[in-house]
């Protein structure tokens, strides 16, 4: 059954898409300030958003509750109570000055799909759970994926002592929100409760738009390595030190940055590298910079590819530093592994995409998602929905209602045709 119909007045009705857009707008109004969208973990507006999502879950026929870390959880039973679930979800926190779609689209779409089943009185041979994760962006405390880590049972208790910019610890913020920090363990699920985790999310990149496709099948969430580099040369007077005698750390850094771009640009397999921050010391117009530090963020669709690339890049900048008589220090500051989408589950997403009449197009996710934590407890797959200009984490973030509808149709078809992974043959 197609969910797109032509109304008698000729206007195109997007049965799921219109409802989704309406709810995206309602949730997008819940913010710390009216002039921009920010919904930060454990704030009053975060709580108001949770309550609204819980009410939508109940309207869709789900039993819904707030779990021990502040995730909103809805459960739609299968054809008998207590069956393992297909878990769907995304996050309901935002960055500061955010768009409305990053996170909520996955939650709201999943709720609309369940509501559609509920309206038809349809029960499946498994339960469906929808989770709105409380904190994915990690804006408030210096740790991300707090909601999904709690569900996966990998939440690290020491995070509770971390402070926000106002000096409030996560433990204190949880109590103020009405949660008990000593019971976060209660949010953890047993692996046998989950058949799979599927997340629908905006692409946050321009690839689907360039391909003229509303949806895409995610192959993997790319791992990332972040490094801090510092170059030390010799500061000196901008007027008195001849060019040939300089050891300018900033021109050395400039050469390194261009070399990193060049290296990534010529990689045929999706390597991306970014220098996003640089500091030059002493930072005066008339002084040759003696010391420069800069960051690197390197991502690739596989871990082996990324590690090889990081080693090559470090070798290149070592060569540049040596040629310019600069001292180089490089440290890895953060590393997370690539999370591959499970082939059996990805194949079912691709089937659903094809069955809705769209070309099946596979792409990696360059951004991190809750699946990075959920992989510890379940097989993971993702559906990407086209967003305008690839823009995200910005008020201009936008999804067309027709694309929201397409995403919902694919997700609904996936749910209705979902087959759990076949158990391995014994012996
Ligand atoms: Zn997101």
- Give pLDDT tens digits for 70-128: 999 999 999 999 999 999 999 999 999 999 999 999 999 999 999 999 999 999 999 99
Ligand 1 midpoint to CA 148 (Å): 12
By three-state DSSP, how is residue 90 classified? Answer: strand
Ligand 1 midpoint to CA 104 (Å): 8
Ligand 1 midpoint to CA 110 (Å): 15
| Mean pLDDT over the full length of the chain | 94
Amino acid 268: pLDDT: 92
Average pLDDT over residues 302-328: 97
The residue count of the chain comes to: 427
pLDDT in tens, 226-274: 999 999 999 999 999 999 999 999 999 999 999 999 999 999 988 999 9
Q: What is the DSSP string of 353-417?
A: HHHTT----EEEE-S--THHHHTTTS-EEEEEE--GGG--SSTT----HHHHHHHHHHHHHHHHT
Ligand 1 midpoint to CA 141 (Å): 17
Ligand 1 midpoint to CA 255 (Å): 34
pLDDT(426) > 70: no
Q: How many angstroms separate the CA atoms of 325 and 333, rounded?
A: 25
Ligand 1 midpoint to CA 99 (Å): 10
Amino acid 6: pLDDT: 47
Half-sphere exposure of 178 (CA within 13 A, CB side): 11
Residue 244: CB atoms within 10 A of its CB come to 5
Beta bridge partners of 332: 227
Q: What pTM was estimated for this model as a whole? A: 0.88
pLDDT(7) > 50: no
User: What is the DSSP pairing of strand 215-221 with strand 362-365?
Assistant: parallel
Average pLDDT over residues 380-393: 96
Ligand 1 midpoint to CA 136 (Å): 7
Average pLDDT over residues 137-154: 92
Ligand 1 midpoint to CA 93 (Å): 9
Q: What is the DSSP letter of 220?
A: E
Amino acid 360: pLDDT: 98
Ligand 1 midpoint to CA 312 (Å): 31
Ligand 1 midpoint to CA 369 (Å): 6
Amino acid 12: pLDDT: 55
Strands (E), 142-277: 194-202, 215-221, 223-232, 236-237, 272-274
Q: How many angstroms separate the CA atoms of 181 and 185, rounded?
A: 9
């Amino acid at each position: 059954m197609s969910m797109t119909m032509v109304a008698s007045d000729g206007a195109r009705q997007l049965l799921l898409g219109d409802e989704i857009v309406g709810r995206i707008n309602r949730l997008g109004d819940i913010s710390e300030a009216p002039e921009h969208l920010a919904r930060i973990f454990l704030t009053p507006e975060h709580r108001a958003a949770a309550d609204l999502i819980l009410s939508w879950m109940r309207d869709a026929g789900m039993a819904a509750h707030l779990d021990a870390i502040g995730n909103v959880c809805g459960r739609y039973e299968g054809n008998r109570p207590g069956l393992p679930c297909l878990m769907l979800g995304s996050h309901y926190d935002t960055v500061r000055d955010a768009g409305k779609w990053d996170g909520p689209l996955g939650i709201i779409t999943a709720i609309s799909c369940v509501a559609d089943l509920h309206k038809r009185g349809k029960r499946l041979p498994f339960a469906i759970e929808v989770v709105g994760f409380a904190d994915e962006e990690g804006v408030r405390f210096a740790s991300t994926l707090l909601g999904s880590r709690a569900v996966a049972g990998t939440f690290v208790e020491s995070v509770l002592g971390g402070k926000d910019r106002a000096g409030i610890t996560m433990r204190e913020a949880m109590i103020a929100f009405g949660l008990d920090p000593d019971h976060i363990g209660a949010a953890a699920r047993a692996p046998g409760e989950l058949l799979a985790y599927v997340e629908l999310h905006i692409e946050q990149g321009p690839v689907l738009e360039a391909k003229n496709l509303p949806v895409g099948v995610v192959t993997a969430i790319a791992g990332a390595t972040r490094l801090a580099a510092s170059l030390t040369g010799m500061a000196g007077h901008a007027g008195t030190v001849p060019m040939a005698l300089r050891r300018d750390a900033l021109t050395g850094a400039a050469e390194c940055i261009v070399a990193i771009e060049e290296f990534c640009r010529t990689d045929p397999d999706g390597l991306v590298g970014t220098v996003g921050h640089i500091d030059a010391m002493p930072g005066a117009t008339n002084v040759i910079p003696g010391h420069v530090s800069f960051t690197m963020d390197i991502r690739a669709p596989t871990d082996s590819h990324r590690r090889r690339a990081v080693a090559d890049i470090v070798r290149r900048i070592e060569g540049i530093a040596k040629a310019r008589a600069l001292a180089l220090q490089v440290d890895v500051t953060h590393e997370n592994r690539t999370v591959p989408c499970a082939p059996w589950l990805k194949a079912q997403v691709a089937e659903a995409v094809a069955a809705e009449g769209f070309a099946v197009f596979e792409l990696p996710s360059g951004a991190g998602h809750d699946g990075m934590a959920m992989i510890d407890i379940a097989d993971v797959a993702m559906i990407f929905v086209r967003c305008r200009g690839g823009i995200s984490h910005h008020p201009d973030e936008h999804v067309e209602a027709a694309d929201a509808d397409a995403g919902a149709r694919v997700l609904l078809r996936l749910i209705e045709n979902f087959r759990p992974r076949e158990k391995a043959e014994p012996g």
